[in-house]
Amino acid sequence: MKRSTLIIIFVMGFVFYAFGQNRQMCATDVPDSRWESEFQRLIKRDKLNQEPRASTYTIPVVFHIVHSGEAIGTFPNLDSAQINSQITVLNEDFNGVGLNADTYPANAFVNWAIAQGLPASSLDSKGRVKIGSLDIRFCLALYDTSGNALPEPGIDRIDIHSKAWTNPNTLTDRVRFKKYLDNVIKPQSIWDVTKYLNVWVTDKSRSLHNMGVSSIPPFSTLEGIPVSSTTDSTDGIWCWAKAVGSYPLYPSGYYKSNNIAGRTLTHEIGHYLGLRHIWGDRPCANDYCDDTPTASSANTGNPSYPLNSGSCSSNAPDGEMFMNFMDYTIDPYKYMFTVNQVERMQTALIHSPFRNKLGSHGLCTSTLSNAKLNDNSLPGLYPNPTAGSIILKRVSKYNSVIVSNIMGRIIYKERIAREDEQVIDLSNQPNGTYFISLFGDESNRILMLLKI
């Protein structure tokens, strides 16, 4: 009897320990009810008023890579190719075409969707819960806060010795680590949160299990209205350096394991745009998206469909959506947002004062350092994003053009025939981020292109 009791206690203790470890993978705070009430009010209002949305959202990203003097390309001072691979992942994931999205089961949640009476807008042609697309472009910022061109697009390298900072990998307590981020590292290095998505990349203590943490979007800066704990000195995301980037895209980087495919930052940007964990942060709780089945807890590892059918009263017969980005399964096994999750993110992009001006400052377009963004004498390209060919405009003063991929490999090189336009065909190139480098006698320019 005693032995059985001890075994039960041990097993229960292990379950709670494991669940606690799972929760630590993401250290984002759970929003309070006032914040969610305001969020729901805005969602309902937008649906009622048919609030217009941008055709394509753009989010300029700056990665603050914190190191202690290591050479570029030595952990944790990640090289630009690893950062570029992360941008490619974001653009694929948030547009519904990420790694393994094509493995979505042919009958995924069909029966559950019927039982729940989901509207047609939440379903694909097979009757499955639809993989949503936010129609968004993440780009590496080309300019700093003063309008100066960045030597490495989207990268701000910070040596802790120049700031007299404590090395983050010496902070072994999760609460203390987060306070140091919010009280020291972020305020002393943050860029304007209305213009940039700030991402801090550091090492961490081996005793900490969390790999990322995000702020949540405030919906007002007026007193008395729920704003969350986010401020203009703390807004943004932290990621462990070994969880940034994609091993499948750039295997030469530094990763926790070969399973790292950039989904930690995808998950945290979900929080940054107002999403909750798929299980609602309590057993069978609400994530406020009608098209995500309830889940009993976080899922980890590499499960198969269907998973845990009946674990909550309302998720039978198809079980839990472990392939959702807001769960904790390993990176290759999560590959989708839903339509309702996309609606939440759109609401945050429209209404949050720290989100609704992102992409409106020309930080992803090559311009003069004084940010004269509307100067028609500057080179441009369209369409961007593209599915094939692009047209370069106003390029007659340049001698040559080079197109390189995120790994720095040159895929196109040609002289410019002193004409005002030049067509480049990229239809045979894989989807991802490309850099268009223009070279002239008096000046050079770099433009960024997304192929989807």
Tell me how far apart the alpha carbons of residues 250 and 89 are, in angstroms, rounded to a whole number: 11
Tell me how far apart the alpha carbons of residues 373 and 346 are, in angstroms, rounded to a whole number: 26
Check: CB of residue 293 under 8 Å from CB of residue 324.
no
pLDDT digits (tens, 9 = 90+) for 75-129: 999 999 999 999 999 999 999 999 999 999 999 999 999 999 999 999 999 999 9
Of 154-158, 293-297, 422-426, minimum mean pLDDT range: 422-426
Stated pTM of the model: 0.80
pLDDT score of 51 more than 80:
no
227 confidence band (pLDDT: 50, 70, 90): low
For 401, phi and psi rounded to 5 degrees?
-135, 140
Tell me the HSE value of 359 on the side-chain side, using a 13 A CA sphere: 14
Query: Buried b vs exposed e over 142-178: b needs ≥16 C-beta within 10 Å?
Result: bbbeebeebeebbbbebebeeeebeebbebeebeebb
383 confidence band (pLDDT: 50, 70, 90): confident
Residue type, 316: A
pLDDT digits (tens, 9 = 90+) for 12-40: 333 333 333 333 489 999 998 999 999 99
Tell me how far apart the alpha carbons of residues 398 and 269 are, in angstroms, rounded to a whole number: 38
Residue 292: closest CA among 328, 345, 341: 341
Q: What is the pLDDT of residue 1?
A: 36
Q: What is the pLDDT of residue 50?
A: 79
Q: What is the pLDDT of residue 224?
A: 45
Tell me the HSE value of 195 on the side-chain side, using a 13 A CA sphere: 16
Which 3 state secondary structure label does DSSP give 439? strand
Residues paired with residue 35 on neighbouring β-strands, in sequence order: none
Tell me how far apart the alpha carbons of residues 102 and 67 are, in angstroms, rounded to a whole number: 37
Q: What is the pLDDT of residue 368?
A: 29
Tell me how far apart the alpha carbons of residues 379 and 397 are, in angstroms, rounded to a whole number: 9
> What domains are defined for the chain?
12-96+131-275+337-351 (3.40.390), 380-451 (2.60.40.3080)
What is the arithmetic mean of pLDDT over 149-164? 95
374 confidence band (pLDDT: 50, 70, 90): very low
Tell me how far apart the alpha carbons of residues 203 and 185 are, in angstroms, rounded to a whole number: 13
DSSP code string of 371-416: --TT-TTS-EEESSSBSSEEEEES-TTEEEEEEEETT--EEEEEE-
Q: What is the pLDDT of residue 408?
A: 64
Identify the sign of the CA torsion 99, 102, 107, 112.
Answer: positive
**Residue 138 or 418, more confident:** 138
Tell me the HSE value of 37 on the side-chain side, using a 13 A CA sphere: 5
Highest mean pLDDT among 49-63, 186-200, 363-377, 435-449: 186-200
For 127, phi and psi rounded to 5 degrees?
85, 10
**Residue 309 or 382, more confident:** 309
| H helical segments located in 57-209 | 80-93, 110-116, 160-163, 174-180
Residue 423: closest CA among 386, 452, 450, 376: 386
Q: What is the pLDDT of residue 406?
A: 64
What's the mean per-residue pLDDT of the chain? 87
Q: What is the pLDDT of residue 419?
A: 67
pLDDT score of 390 more than 70:
yes
| H helical segments located in 125-241 | 160-163, 174-180
